[in-house]
Each structure stands twice: as C-alpha cells, then as structure tokens.
Amino acid sequence: MNGVKQAVRSVARPVVQFARKWLEPTPEKVVVDWYQITGGPGKGAEILLPFPSGFADQIIPGRYELACTGVMEALVTDESVCLDIGAHYGY
C-alpha cells in the first residue's frame, strides 16, 4: 500500500502545483510613487503613495477622511497656524 501512496503522490504533486499556479490569483504589484491629488482641499498637491491601495483610492480623488477635513475647514482660518504631526499618509 505504501508504494501505491507514493506513486499517487508523485503523480498528483506536480498536477496540484500546476493547478495552484493557474487558479490562485496573482497578487497585484504595488508601486510606491508620487501621485497628484485630483480633488478636495489637497487638489494639485503631490503625495508619495503605494498604489493600488485602499487609502490611495481615497486620497487621490480627495475623498480621504472627509469628516476630519470638514472639521478642519470649519475651524481653521486664513490666519491660523497649524502643524501636521499625524501619521504617515493623509493630509
């Protein structure tokens, strides 16, 4: 029986590896590059982002952190001085 199992494994292993290669999705290549923000308060600015990513999909068109952006627009005036001490991504 051991010989049969080994024979089946030796035939099945390359078939399974071939099937996995063609059936499993290929991970998307992520590129870190400079992208221009196309909308919102950061429109026209360039930001270094990994793309594709969920937050890049929100930052580039200006839809990232809309609630926070709304609060800042309501509180900050032209005379205000602000320091951005936040996390890595965002504006």
* 17-37 pLDDT, tens digit each: 877 777 777 778 888 999 999
69 and 49 in contact (C-beta within 8 Å)?
A: no
Residue 56 has pLDDT above 70, yes or no: yes
Instruction: Name the residue type at position 80.
Output: S
Question: Which structure tokens are listed for 16?
Answer: 């399974």
The beta strand positions in 1-91, using DSSP E, are 31-36, 46-51
- Answer whether 0.85 is exceeded by the pTM: no
CA 67, chain centre distance (Å): 21
- Tell me the β-bridge partners of 50: 32
40 and 63 in contact (C-beta within 8 Å)?
A: yes
